[in-house]
Chain A
Amino acid sequence: MPDAMRPATTVTPLPPCIRYSIRTLPSGLALLEDLFGESFPTQVGQVSGMPDRFVSCLGPDEWSFVAPGPEKSRLASACAELPEHFEGSITDISAREVGYLIEGAEAATLLNSGCPRNLRGMPTPSAARTVFDGVAIGLVKWQDDAFRLDVWRSFVPHIRACLDLALNDLV
């Protein structure tokens, strides 16, 4: 394919959103599914929902929930009404991370410049906590050419610089 026809690979910052880090026992999952209206996958790496509202399973007892920003107050009051017998924790980490959407035919190549995982072989959709150039990142693969990357705010300048450098190499 000539370069001019190749769809460009882009790195787009995502708007602020709600992020909850959730730890619970399997017994707590039914309550959470009612609360958030999403199914909670039980195999590490699985993800359920849509790109702007999803639950990913990061560990055997750890999940990450992401929702659009305007749901903030509704979710906060819903969490406050969890029954006492709920065994687990829900931590609001919305402001901790910044999200990016990485799109384009070379999205996996771009991410592989810093991430050692086999991203082309990763199932679609799936999620993982992994590493990018020494920094812990959250990664969701929605399509073969569309990834979501979440990284701690303090590492954003470093990650952005790495991605921009790799973008130049793609051209």
Chain B
Amino acid sequence: MIQIHCPYCCELLPEQEFAYAGEAHIVRPEDPGALSDEAWRDYLFLRTNARGPYHERWRHVHGCSRFFNALRDTVSDRILVTYRMGEAPPAPPSEEGGDA
């Protein structure tokens, strides 16, 4: 079982309480109508799918029900750090980082 640190509950909690919600920090275009079809398609569907540290949104759905962001290493499946919505994303560690 993976344990995830919820930045709102300030506790390490089992993964069953959480839901994955896709890549983080994708900004919705100000004026979608002005976009070309290709740019709109890229916004909707193209994701980084990184191998290694990856910024993700998670939701503590069976808990405080807050969305938050996490930096997860997709190779080791370790969650490196979790942080609240609106906070600046931490830079991916250059080498193997510790647990959050």
Q: Point out residues on A near B: beta carbons under 8 Å.
A: 43-45, 58-60, 62, 116-117, 128-131, 136
Q: Point out residues on B near A: beta carbons under 8 Å.
A: 1, 8-11, 13-17, 62-66
Q: Which residues of A contact B13 (CB under 8 A)?
A: 117
Q: Which residues of B contact A59 (CB under 8 A)?
A: 8, 63-66
Main secondary structure of the interface of A (DSSP, over half): strand
**How many angstroms from the CA of A120 to the CA of B66 in the assembled complex?**
25
- Residue pair B17, A130 in contact (C-beta under 8 Å): yes
- Tell whether A117 pairs with B14 under 8 Å between CB atoms, given A44-B8, A45-B9, A59-B8: yes
Known: A44-B63, A129-B62, A131-B62. 10 other contacts (CB 8 A): A44-B64, A59-B63, A59-B64, A59-B65, A62-B65, A117-B13, A128-B63, A129-B63, A129-B64, A130-B17
Instruction: Report the minimum CB–CB distance from B7 to chain A (whole Å).
Output: 10
- Residue pair B17, A60 in contact (C-beta under 8 Å): no
**How many angstroms from the CA of A45 to the CA of B63 in the assembled complex?**
9
**How many angstroms from the CA of A24 to the CA of B16 in the assembled complex?**
27
Q: Which residues of A contact B64 (CB under 8 A)?
A: 44, 58-60, 62, 129
- Residue pair B8, A60 in contact (C-beta under 8 Å): yes
For B8, the closest partner residue in chain A by CB is A60
- Residue pair B14, A116 in contact (C-beta under 8 Å): yes
For B13, the closest partner residue in chain A by CB is A117
For B1, the closest partner residue in chain A by CB is A116
Q: Which residues of A contact B15 (CB under 8 A)?
A: 116
- Residue pair A131, B17 in contact (C-beta under 8 Å): yes
**How many angstroms from the CA of A130 to the CA of B8 in the assembled complex?**
14
6 tightest CB-CB pairs across the interface, nearest first? A116-B14, A59-B64, A131-B62, A44-B9, A116-B16, A44-B64
**How many angstroms from the CA of A58 to the CA of B60 in the assembled complex?**
11
- Residue pair B62, A130 in contact (C-beta under 8 Å): yes
9 residue pairs A–B, Cβ–Cβ below 8 Å: A59-B8, A60-B64, A116-B14, A117-B13, A117-B14, A129-B63, A129-B65, A130-B17, A130-B63
